[in-house]
A and B are shown apart, each in its own frame.
Chain A
Amino acid sequence: MGTIGLLVRRGLIFILMSIEVMLNAAGLAFVAAGAHWGQPDGQVMFIFILATAAAEVSIGLALVLRLHRQFKSLDVDAASEMRG
């Protein structure tokens, strides 16, 4: 579902939210597997996913702010004129 959102929406904020949904689904799968086998490893992995998501969101939102200042829009297609 998050992948669909990533493909459908063109807004930068929506793309970041879709990534959140995907990470959340991965964490849910980890916790469910850990609960199924009665092991704490699933929750440990969920904590790592949480840390990754926090780092990703902070960097992503900083990039969103920069893009908004530079291109005055949040459309990712506006950023395609960047030269690498």
Chain B
Amino acid sequence: MNSVFYLSAAVAIVSTVLMLTRLNAVHALLYLILSLLSVAVIFYISGAPFAAGLELIIYAGAIMVLFIFVVMLLNLGDRATAQERSWLKPSMWVGPATLASILAVEVAYFLLHQPAQSLVPREIAPKVVGVALFGPYVIGVELASMLLTAALVGAFHLGSRHVEKSELRGLRQPANSETHDVDFAKPGIASRDDLVRVGNDRPAGAPRPDLHPHVD
């Protein structure tokens, strides 16, 4: 029982160190996922199955998929295929696979030989956690929901292209303001609002406003 804990703790530490020393972001993410998995195993054997499940689903599932998605998104280019081929080299996934198989053997051992004496006096069931979460901590739940809503709105705002365009212009203007300034004399651009609002409520017959006036 204790050896299982120490083994998974060692896997967590080793995979975190390997994560920090990787040069490639995808390999580092692989080791980070492994570290999260081993932390989930530690949660499970220390009597917190609900936290282990949440760790698996949210951290290793959702957040890491987000990370991988962004890393793959940023790597789009000519050498993307060559890079992906280098990611899938056998020497790259041998290390994570070994550590993950250690974890899998641990979980299998733990499930097959249900030990009589546990590491902790008693297991904290998900029901108790839920009662505590919606009893004395209900204010915290509301605050977390507001935080998540704010994060949703903020991520949407940061990700939209409209903000990028207007702020990019604002950032570059002071450097050489003549070349990058908006040419209001052009047809179709009546005011600065037209640049922002283009595509949304343009009349059908109206000429298409120049989206990149600084190019020519």
Binding site for B on A (CB under 8 A): 1-2, 4-5, 8-9, 11, 13-14, 16-18, 20-21, 24, 27-28, 31-32, 34-36, 38-44, 46-48, 50-59, 61-66, 68-70, 74, 82
Contacts A34-B124, A54-B151; A43 near B129 (Cβ below 8 A): yes
Residues B39 and A24 in contact, CB atoms below 8 Å apart? yes
Residues A43 and B59 in contact, CB atoms below 8 Å apart? no
Q: Which residues of B contact A17 (CB under 8 A)?
A: 19, 28-29, 32, 67
Q: Which secondary structure dominates chain B's binding surface?
A: helix
Residues B66 and A57 in contact, CB atoms below 8 Å apart? yes
Q: How far is the CA of A50 from the CA of B129 in the complex (A)?
A: 15
Residue of B nearest to A32 (CB): B46
Residue of B nearest to A82 (CB): B171
Q: Which residues of B contact A68 (CB under 8 A)?
A: 74
- Additional 10 contacts, C-beta under 8 A, given A44-B129, A65-B158: A1-B13, A5-B20, A13-B67, A32-B46, A46-B54, A47-B54, A58-B154, A59-B151, A64-B74, A65-B159
Q: Which secondary structure dominates chain A's binding surface?
A: helix
Q: How far is the CB of A62 from the nearest CB of chain B, in Å? A: 4
Residues B46 and A57 in contact, CB atoms below 8 Å apart? no
Q: How many contacting A-B pairs (Cβ < 8 A)? A: 150
Contacts A11-B25, A34-B124, A47-B54; A61 near B66 (Cβ below 8 A): yes
Q: Which residues of A contact B140 (CB under 8 A)?
A: 44, 48
Residues B16 and A21 in contact, CB atoms below 8 Å apart? yes
Q: Which residues of B contact A43 (CB under 8 A)?
A: 48, 50-51, 124, 129, 132
B133: CB under 8 A from chain A? yes
Binding site for A on B (CB under 8 A): 13, 16-17, 19-20, 25, 28-29, 32, 35-36, 39, 42-43, 46-48, 50-51, 54-55, 58-59, 62-63, 66-67, 70-71, 73-74, 119-122, 124, 128-129, 131-133, 137, 140, 144, 147-148, 150-152, 154-155, 158-159, 164, 168, 171
